[in-house]
């Protein structure tokens, strides 16, 4: 039995949702007919020059602050030189020795406890295009430059991650924050969130620690793929250790690509093939000065982060972990919930209505919580109507539907439509009597031992009262009447 620990560091690329690209005014959007969202700048045509998109810088600062990073007071861009058809300038504008943000951390949950993953750096760079290889006999390849110049953040962690599961929750944590800050849509399938992981094993043997060669694992296009790839890699490195006893000194760093179909990683590049990127300061762009004032402004705009918010919602409102997670996924949604729940003694109920009913409505209408005009206080009023026995849970759903359609007060709807529950015993007795007299066959069936007849009669009562009968009282009266006979 080999005693070992797993060491993982992640490099995450996040595409930013700025309106325009990083260094030109082309629209920044996924897809499109190949080579239509391009201009001389992002195509790297001779003579074209980049101009920094201010929004990209602000998004980077925002992300950095949310990840507890320090923000550089002066930063700059550098050129990373390598040739590839999808890189039209033959270099990528990136950041080398002075990243915009550095020395941060992200706390993650692992096996019920909190672990801190340090973040080494966060920097800005531009995305490349895409090579398209025809899958026929022509052997032709094409390049789509639409993605060129899309602003990216690269977030590099320290090797603080100790299992594939932790790696997944680290990246999920990053995703949650990016979504919360609304700076990226973090869609792994579309590639707006991409993670490469550096992984190796520290093996203890005979009082010595041996490090296996570091593998940079690429092409993990989902959280599931990430977990599988890293587990595979742990096993592979263990096996390699047992068979060959290769260490970091023998191989240095290798690059391996994950194949989702086979669940295996495949060697792509060894250390010898590593390129020398010949970084140097980008002469076409001036250094960027980041004033304290701007950092302060951005810090204020961030507010409470999802994780803190989740903890607070649970302790302050006593809602479930699951509900808290959903509510804290967006600033607007949690704010909506908190306004609705204000001063109400059972916030759990409010959470349920906001998540299930309101969430369902927003989904079906395809609108966001920000676009929803329904005052939060109406949700509370609706729940109070149920609490007070004014309406049944079933009627409440109708009222809710009407409420979202007209954005009107639920009390008003109940009054206007005469939807309030009938709790008056005498009135209900009249109704039940009518139903019993009108359905002698069902009454007979019931007495003959057929229980479903009771349900039918209850249904009739609801039908007559258009659902307004208080079901508990109506049931009692019906029972009494049937037994009296």
Partner 1 sequence: MNIIEAPLSELKEMLDNGDISAVEIVRAFRENYERDEREELPLNGYIEFFDDAEKAAQKSDQVRESGDPGILEGLPIAVKDNILISGHEVTCGSAILEGFKAPYSSTVVERLRAEGMIFLGRTNMDEFAMGSTCEYSVYGPSRNPYERNHVTGGSSGGSACVVSAAQAPVALGSETGGSVRLPASFCGIYGLKPTYGSLSRYGLVAFGSSLDQIGILGRVPDDIALVLSVAGGYDPNDSTSANVDFSGIYPLKRMKLKGKRVAIPVEISEEGVDEEIRGKIKVFSDWLTGMGVTVEKISLPVLKLSVAIYYIIAPAEASSNLSRFDGIKYGFRDTTGETLEDLYVRTRTRGFGEEVKRRIFIGNYVLSSGYYDEYYKKAMEVRRLLKGRISELFTKYDFILSPTSPVLPFRIGEKVDDPLSLYLTDICTTFANLASIPALSVPLGLSKKGLPIGLQIAGNMFEEEKLLRVAKLWHEESNF
- In the complex, which residues of this chain contact partner 1 (CB under 8 A)? 40, 43-52, 79, 81, 83, 85, 88-91, 143, 276, 278-280, 283-286
Least Å distance, CB 41 to partner 1, is 8
Task: Name which of 82 and 244 has its Cβ closer to partner 1.
Answer: 82
Task: Name which of 48 and 314 has its Cβ closer to partner 1.
Answer: 48
Give residues with Cβ within 8 angstroms of 8, minimum separation 6: 159, 161, 162, 163, 164, 166, 167, 197, 198, 199, 230
How many Cα atoms sit within 13 Å of 190 on the Cβ side? 13
Dihedral pair phi/psi, residue 315, rounded to 5°:
-75, -35
Task: Name which of 276 and 484 has its Cβ closer to partner 1.
Answer: 276
Question: Helices 471-484 and 425-438, interaxial angle, to 10°?
Answer: 50
How many Cα atoms sit within 13 Å of 323 on the Cβ side? 20
Q: Are strands 208-211 and 214-220 parallel, antiparallel or unpaired?
A: unpaired
Give the separation between CA 482 and CA 479, rounded to whole angstroms. 5
Least Å distance, CB 78 to partner 1, is 10
Task: Name which of 47 and 448 has its Cβ closer to partner 1.
Answer: 47
Give the separation between CA 406 and CA 427, rounded to whole angstroms. 31
Least Å distance, CB 314 to partner 1, is 48
Task: Name which of 19 and 452 has its Cβ closer to partner 1.
Answer: 19
Least Å distance, CB 211 to partner 1, is 23
Per DSSP, the three-state class of 105 is: strand
Task: Name which of 98 and 285 has its Cβ closer to partner 1.
Answer: 285
Q: Are strands 214-220 and 253-259 parallel, antiparallel or unpaired?
A: parallel
Task: Name which of 70 and 280 has its Cβ closer to partner 1.
Answer: 280
Give the separation between CA 218 and CA 373, rounded to whole angstroms. 44
Least Å distance, CB 127 to partner 1, is 17
Q: Which of 129, 126, 130 is nearest to 18 (CA)?
A: 126
Whole-number CA gyration radius for the chain: 31
The two tokens of residue 417 are: 């439509």
Least Å distance, CB 90 to partner 1, is 2
Least Å distance, CB 57 to partner 1, is 13
H-type alpha helices, 75-163? none
Per DSSP, the three-state class of 471 is: helix
Task: Name which of 50 and 376 has its Cβ closer to partner 1.
Answer: 50
Least Å distance, CB 277 to partner 1, is 8
């Amino acid at each position: 039995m080999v005693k070992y620990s797993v060491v993982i560091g992640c490099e995450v690329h996040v595409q930013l949702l700025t309106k325009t690209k990083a260094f030109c005014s082309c629209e920044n959007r996924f897809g499109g007919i190949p080579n239509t969202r391009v201009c001389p700048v992002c195509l790297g045509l001779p003579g074209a020059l980049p101009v920094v998109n201010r929004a990209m810088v602000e998004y980077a600062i925002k992300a950095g602050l949310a990840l507890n990073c320090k923000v550089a007071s002066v930063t700059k861009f550098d050129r990373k030189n390598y040739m590839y058809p999808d890189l039209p300038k033959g270099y990528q504008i990136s950041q080398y020795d002075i990243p915009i943000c550095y020395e941060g951390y992200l706390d993650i949950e692992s096996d019920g406890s909190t672990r801190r993953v340090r973040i080494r750096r966060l920097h800005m760079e531009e995305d490349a295009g895409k090579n398209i290889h025809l899958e026929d006999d022509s052997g032709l390849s094409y390049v789509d430059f639409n993605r060129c110049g899309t602003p990216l953040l690269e977030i590099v962690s320290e090797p603080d991650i100790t299992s594939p599961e932790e790696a997944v929750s680290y990246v999920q944590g990053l995703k949650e924050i990016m979504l919360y800050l609304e700076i990226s849509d973090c869609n792994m399938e579309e590639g707006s969130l991409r993670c490469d992981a550096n992984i190796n094993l520290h093996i203890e043997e005979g009082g010595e620690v041996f490090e296996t060669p570091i593998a940079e694992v690429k092409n993990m296009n989902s959280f599931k793929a990430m977990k599988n790839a890293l587990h595979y890699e742990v096993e592979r490195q263990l096996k390699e250790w047992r068979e060959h006893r290769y260490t970091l000194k023998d191989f240095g760093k290798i690059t391996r690509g994950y194949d989702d179909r086979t669940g295996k990683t495949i060697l792509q590049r060894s250390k010898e093939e590593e390129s020398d990127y010949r970084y140097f300061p980008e002469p076409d762009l001036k250094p960027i000065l980041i004033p304290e004032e701007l950092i302060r402004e951005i810090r204020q705009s961030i507010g409470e982060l999802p994780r803190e918010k989740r903890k607070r919602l649970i302790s302050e409102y006593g809602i479930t972990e699951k509900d808290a997670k959903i509510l804290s996924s967006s600033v607007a949604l949690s704010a909506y919930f908190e306004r609705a729940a204000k001063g109400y003694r059972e916030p759990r109920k409010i959470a349920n209505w906001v998540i299930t009913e309101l969430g369902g409505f927003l989904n079906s209408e395809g609108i966001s919580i920000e676009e929803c005009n329904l005052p939060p206080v109406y949700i509370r009023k609706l729940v109070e109507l149920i609490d007070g026995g004014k309406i049944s849970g079933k009627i409440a759903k109708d009222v809710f539907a009407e409420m979202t359609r007209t954005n009107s007060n639920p009390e008003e709807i109940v009054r206007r439509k005469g939807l309030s529950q009938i709790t008056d015993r005498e009135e209900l007795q009249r109704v039940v009597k009518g139903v019993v007299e009108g359905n002698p066959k069902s009454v007979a069936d019931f007495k003959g031992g057929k229980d479903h007849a009771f349900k039918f009669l209850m249904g009739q009562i609801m039908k007559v009262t258009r659902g307004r009968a208080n079901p508990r009282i109506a049931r009692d009266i019906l029972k009494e009447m049937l037994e009296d006979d």
